[in-house]
Amino acid sequence: MFQFSLQSVLDVRERLEKLRYKEYSTVLLERQRLESEIDRRQGAMERAAQGADEQRRLGRSALPLQLHDQYRKRLQNEVVRLRQQVKDQEQQLEAKRKQLVEARRAHRALEILRDKEHDRYESELARRERITMDEVASNYHQYRK
């Protein structure tokens, strides 16, 4: 029965790879959430701009326009802050991606070793079977003489 000598190490590296993938996915989801927040804020700015245009067209008081301007500035500041967070997330994402690639490489290296060891095991088994079959055939021919 084949038994890989480094199976416990392979299991640990497999779990480590899964952990790295989970960490990478978490950072990726956070970045996507931030990007959707940016899109939501920009959509709110566009809707507010349309409302301000409507207020200008109707020629009402300046207070709604001032409120719109303050609202727009606040949204712009939030978008700038969110974009900075996205940049930070991208740096983290790149670091997690590198860790994931390294974990995959280490896991794959052990898988290759396991496969080679299994091939050697199968070759040895086939060699022993051939030797046994040759011996049986030899004994059979000697017995028949």
Contact residues for 86 (Cβ-Cβ < 8 A; gap 6+): 31, 34, 35, 38
What local confidence, expressed as pLDDT, does residue 10 receive? 95
What local confidence, expressed as pLDDT, does residue 103 receive? 96
- Using CA atoms, how far apart are residues 77 and 82, in angstroms rounded to an integer? 9
Residue-wise pLDDT tens for the chain (145 aa)? 889 999 999 999 999 999 999 999 999 999 999 999 999 999 998 888 887 777 777 776 777 778 888 888 999 999 999 999 999 999 999 999 999 999 999 999 999 999 999 999 999 999 999 999 999 998 888 888 7
Cα torsion 120, 121, 126, 128: sign: positive
pTM across the whole model: 0.73
- Using CA atoms, how far apart are residues 14 and 81, in angstroms rounded to an integer? 38
